[in-house]
Structure 1
Amino acid sequence: MPIINIVYGDLLQQPVDVIVNAWNRNFIPWWLLLPQGVSGAIKKQAGYAPFRALSKYGMLSIGQAVLTEAGKLPYKGIIHVAGINAFWCATEDSIRKSVQSALILAEHHHFRSIAFPLIGAGTGGFNEQQVQRLIEQTICELQYDVDVFIVIFKK
């Protein structure tokens, strides 16, 4: 069973192999968007490279996860998950699928640690406590050997 660490801070400051970007379904080109929250912070610190790589995947299914380079960030990669639908809303299903897909991808690439933001909180419409509970439940149901950090943003 994975070790779950609850951290209050900045996702982009975590000592992990890979971070998760709560993304959309990739139906609007990244350069037309003004990314907010996690995506905005990643774009600001990593540069455009991860988003250019992400665009090559085309339309993502709800909950799908894809791996890109980390740009200027010190990680082995960024896992982008389609956590919100075309109406910019998250559901319990989209959050659970996103977590599961990200963990599968992390294990497939032999990453030892992963940091999740609160997928679906904020823009997605869920409150932080709901999302944290869903992420923890989903992780506990899986049998992946990855250390997990759930990062609750605090300045």
Structure 2
Amino acid sequence: MNIAASRIECRQGDIARQDDLQAVVNAANAQLRSGGGVAGALHRAAGPELAEACRPLAPIQPGQAVITPAFGLPNRHVIHCLGPVYGIDEPSDELLADCYRHALQLAERHGLESLGFPALSTGAFGYPATEAARIALSTVLATLPGCPTVRRVRFVLFDAAAAELHRRTLAALRDA
């Protein structure tokens, strides 16, 4: 889907193997350390330098985003976002939207034309996938006009069901 001069894509894939994007977004923990899921995959692929670069930036709060070089990843940067833990960090919808908004704003400030997002907070943090997709996509749609440098946003989803959910949600928002 195209919004102004930007394109939004939703596809199944490995967030650590997006070699045509300038930045990828990490579903980070507060200490910006390696863990399971997206954070573990990105830290493993980037190498130990990523953990070293993250150390002085931690801790971050839900909704915040910080940026580091990507080291061994095929991207220039990693934008680390701490999504809310569903049912604990409130207001969870606003905090989740802040993650996407702040990541796009960081990309804009750093002159990045393309970035890839995972489905933030939907894994171990328990956010319901349908609601998370709606918040993510509506926030990106609302924020992109203020980020003219960002030409492409890709949602890189772990499985086919999540990719299809994001495609359907994007179509519904476009048609609304």
Q: TM-score range by the shorter chain?
A: 0.7 to 0.9
C-alpha deviations, 1:70-106, integer Å up to 9, x for none? 1211111100012135x98682222100101100000
C-alpha distance in structure 2 between counterparts of 1:131 and 1:10, whole Å: 19
Q: Give the aligned partner of residue 117 of structure 1.
A: 118
After superposition, where does 1:1-80 map in structure 2 within 5 Å? 1=4, 2-14=6-18, 15-26=20-31, 30=33, 35-80=35-80
Using CA pairs under 8 Å that are at least 6 residues apart, name the structure with larger relative contact order, 1 or 2: 1
C-alpha distance in structure 2 between counterparts of 1:58 and 1:152, whole Å: 26
Shift of 1:56: 0.6
Return the TM-score normalized by structure 2: 0.77
Letter in 1 for 2:113: R
Q: State the SS of the aligned residue for 1:72.
A: coil
The 8 Å contact of residues 63 and 99 in structure 2, kept in 1 or not, is answered as: yes
Cα 1:73–1:60 shift into 2, 3 Å: same
Q: Give the aligned partner of residue 148 of structure 1.
A: 153
C-alpha distance in structure 2 between counterparts of 1:75 and 1:23, whole Å: 17
Letter in 1 for 2:120: I
Question: Which sections of structure 1, spanning at least 5 residues, go unmatched?
Answer: none
C-alpha distance in structure 2 between counterparts of 1:152 and 1:105, whole Å: 21
User: Greater CA radius of gyration, 1 or 2?
Assistant: 2
The 8 Å contact of residues 23 and 84 in structure 1, kept in 2 or not, is answered as: no
Shift of 1:48: 1.7
Q: State the SS of the aligned residue for 1:56.
A: helix
Pick the structure with more helix per residue. 2
The 8 Å contact of residues 17 and 74 in structure 2, kept in 1 or not, is answered as: no
Aligned-residue RMSD, C-alpha: 2.1
Identity in percent: 29
Q: Give the aligned partner of residue 82 of structure 1.
A: 82
C-alpha distance in structure 1 between counterparts of 2:97 and 2:132, whole Å: 9
